[in-house]
Structure 1
Amino acid sequence: MAAAAVVDAPRPAHTLTAQQSPPQFRINEGHVAPSQLGWLRSTPADASIEEIRQRLQDDGYVWVKSVQPREDVLAMREHFFSQFSDTGLLKPGTAPVDGIYNTADDVSLHRGVGGGNPRGDEELRRLTDAHTTAQYLDFVSHTALREMVRDIMSWDEEVMLHRTLLRHCVPGGSSTGIHYDRLFLRGGDAFFLTAWVPIGDVSSIGGGLHYLSNSVGLGQALEDDYDERSRDFSEQDKISAFNRNMAATGYLADHPEEFMREHRRVAEVEGTAAKGFKWLIANFEAGDVVFHHPCTIHGSCGNDDPSGRIRLSTDLRFYDKKDFDAGRADNRWMNYWRVDDKL
């Protein structure tokens, strides 16, 4: 995707302190320099809703601690991995709730996009079925999570897209490239809110998300640039993340430093201060949820968890029911995930 100008000088990022040594943050085959790293800002669940809304507006994300009870999240983790207990995915003798990767059975097919591609038809069937089990559907309908979405957005009622993304990212697997969510949900013009839910603890080197600080303006500029260049596209191409104007994967870049270099050059020509951008990382705990804007730029870190823990998470998207009923969202996303749905 062609570079677009940075629209505003970014605010200072939440930087690492001298007492906090930067982790070795890996994405795919490269590392990110410590000078480009910062920490995500956490927000307690009992903060005022005004503060939570303001942080989403200011930062493009709000990381809310302990939205769901820890025991409920760990029960979901145990349920998910129990479905793979006889496939060779988990280390023998370990509990499903721990989700420890079986490195002795490591094969290249486990190292696809997201680091958790299933091996063969049987694992694929189980992963597909995992998106519609009663336990999972109850989990993503958790009262505390849904109330938080409604409170943040001041909606009377929310609609969650049926197409959610359960991802299990194994140690050493590949990472999700740099993107913003609007890239993949262009059908319809309504605002949507993403909730990224780690299902278990995820350390800063365990494969969690990383966010580009103050990036909503840049993401919106990229989207505006796309709108201009796609005027002669068919309607089908306009809403596809894999049209002729996009990279093969739909991502903006495979690596944070590649993305930073491209957009810093543009910013220097334009006279804006892109050097203030930082990639923000965190140590997430079971029960946490990160809510973010559709144009917030982010990706996932490589999973280098020293204990071999598999990162499990789900991506949820929410619309105001009034917008959804008015036809301002894309109904393609009301189908449950399938590996071949090309969405």
Structure 2
Amino acid sequence: MAAPHLTPVAADELIYERQQLPKLRSNYGGHLNQSSVGWLKKTPADTSLDEMRMSFEADGYLFIKGLVPREDILDVRQRCFEHLRSTDILKAGTEPEKGIFEATQDPVVHNGVCGRDLPEDLERQKLLKSAHTLPVYLDFLEHSDFRDFIRRLMGWDKDVILKRTFLRHTIPNGLSTGCHYDRICLRAGEDFLIAWVPIGDCAADEGGLMYLEGSTDIGVAMGEEYMESAEYLTPEERIDLLNQNMARDEQLSHNVVELDANIKVKSSSSKRRQWLAADYEAGDVVFHNPYMIHGAVKDENPLARVRLVTDLRYYREGSRVDERWKRDVLRLYDRL
């Protein structure tokens, strides 16, 4: 198949508009068939709240374009990479905001995926952890455009963000997030809202998220099946990410083709579900519910940009939350 036609939006930006998605795959396994992939539905930031709520309820996600000013997101990206510069993550002579990876570096040194396989060097570990307390990042978490929107969308007077946030970078062709639904790792407490924020431009084949279309019902069924199988466990064991009934590292799979085939076999629905992806730009935000199945696309883009994203979880103030996730952000890499 011929490579998809790419049209630069601006000569000085690495952003592209294209009619067809590139080939997508996860950490392991082959590429998805092109008939199995599609585009996420875009929602302009000026869409009415009623329309947004109906779309979120129907689709399980809300992909909002330009919710946060682009320059604010790029400022976070620049400061984060300046903070990590001493790890030699960036190619010499490149601007921190661009986040161009130094290909000669050992990939393990730059694993930012939820703290797994951290480098042995304690100074490098310290830099990865302390990035979560950079003033520019903490300011973003309180960004008025962002937080006010969440409250209006959800109809909440006040919201609570869990202290345990995931600020993570993924290098080109490195290990990224497997396929999962978020309720897996927050089984205690009530349901919550997830915001996935690309900190910088992130094309579909640069490690952006892909969502299994209409998969909320599948996530709910998987959760119920798990709870039935864990009836003999204590309440503490049921919510433990590492108990014997859980998949390794709380992912459903790191092979999206294999997972897709298994879901089709198990699903009673005749509906054809695609994996939906997007060419994300700085300022975009995707909100999804706790049962929506999703995972990162393998970063195979030749631009060699480092993917930098954050995962945030919100509750209505007064809701019952998973207490384990209220720990200080510096304990992100501890076992829950």
Per the normalisation by structure 2, the TM-score is: 0.90
Matches within 5 A, 1:282-297: 282-297=278-293
Q: CA deviation at 1:87?
A: 1.6
Aligned match of 1:26: 25
- 1:67 maps to what in 2? 67
Distance 1:259 1:40, change over 3 A: same
Structure 2 partner of 1:330: 322
Q: Distance between the aligned counterparts of 1:173 and 1:187, measured in 2? A: 31
CA distance in 2 between counterparts of 1:147 and 1:73 reads 17
User: 2:118 and 2:167 mapped to 1: Cα distance?
Assistant: 12
Q: Is this contact kept in 2: 1:115–1:172, CA < 8 A?
A: no
Q: Does the 8 Å CA contact 2:21/2:39 hold for their aligned counterparts?
A: no
Q: Secondary structure at the match of 1:225?
A: helix
1:339–1:163 CA distance, 2 compared to 1 (3 A)? closer
Larger deviation, residues 306-315 vs 105-114:
105-114
SS in 2 for 1:329: coil
**Structure 2 CA distance for partners of 1:187 and 1:320, relative to 1, 3 Å:** same
The aligned counterpart of 2:183 is 182
Residue type at the aligned position of 2:88: G
SS of residue paired to 2:206:
coil
Equivalent residue letter for 2:25: R
2:265 counterpart residue number: 265
Quick one: distance in 2 between partners of 1:121 and 1:42?
A: 42
* Match in the other structure for 1:202: 202
1:321 to 2:320 alignment? no
Counterpart in the other structure of 1:3: none
Q: CA deviation at 1:111?
A: 5.2
Distance, in Å, in 2 between the alignment partners of 1:27 and 1:309 is 18
Q: Which amino acid aligns with 1:334?
A: K
The secondary structure found in structure 2 opposite 1:43 is strand
What is the one-letter code of the residue matched to 1:273?
S
| Alignment deviations for residues 85-139 of structure 1 (CA, whole Å, 9 cap, x no partner) | 1221110001111111000223444357579965321121011111112221111
Match of 2:226 in 1: 226
**Deviation of 1:331 (Å):** 1.8
Note if contact 1:115-1:173 (Cα within 8 Å) is conserved in structure 2. no
Instruction: Give the AA of the match of 2:164.
Output: R
Tell me which amino acid in the other structure corresponds to 2:137. Answer: Y
Residue 216 (str. 1) matches residue 229 (str. 2) = no
What does 1:1-343 align with in structure 2 at a 5 Å threshold? 20-30=19-29, 31-110=31-110, 113=113, 118-119=118-119, 120-188=121-189, 190-267=190-267, 270=268, 272-274=269-271, 276-323=272-319, 328-335=320-327, 336-338=329-331, 340-343=333-336
Segments of structure 2 that go 5 or more residues without pairing to the other structure are 1-17
Tell me how large the CA RMSD over aligned residues is: 1.8
% identical equivalent positions: 42
Please report the TM-score for the alignment, with normalisation by the length of structure 1: 0.88
SS in 1 for 2:84: coil
Indicate conservation of the 8 Å contact 1:110/1:117, yes or no: no
Residues in 2 aligned to 1:90 and 1:128: alpha-carbon distance in whole angstroms: 18
Which shifted more, 74-83 or 249-258?
A: 249-258
CA contact (8 A) 2:165 2:332 kept: no
Q: Secondary structure of 2:308's match?
A: strand
Is the Cα–Cα contact under 8 Å of residues 199 and 309 in structure 2 kept in the other structure? yes
Q: How far, CA to CA, are the matches of 1:342 and 1:174 in structure 2?
A: 20
**Structure 1 contact 173–303 (Cα < 8 Å) conserved:** yes
Query: Which residue type is aligned with residue 124 of structure 1?
Result: Q
Structure 1 residue ranges (4+ consecutive) displaced by more than 3 angstroms after TM superposition? 106-119, 337-340
SS in 2 for 1:322: coil
Q: Tell me, which stretches of 5 or more residues in structure 1 are unaligned? A: 1-18
Q: Deviations over 1:49-96 (max 9, x none)?
A: 111111110110000111111010000000100011122111000111
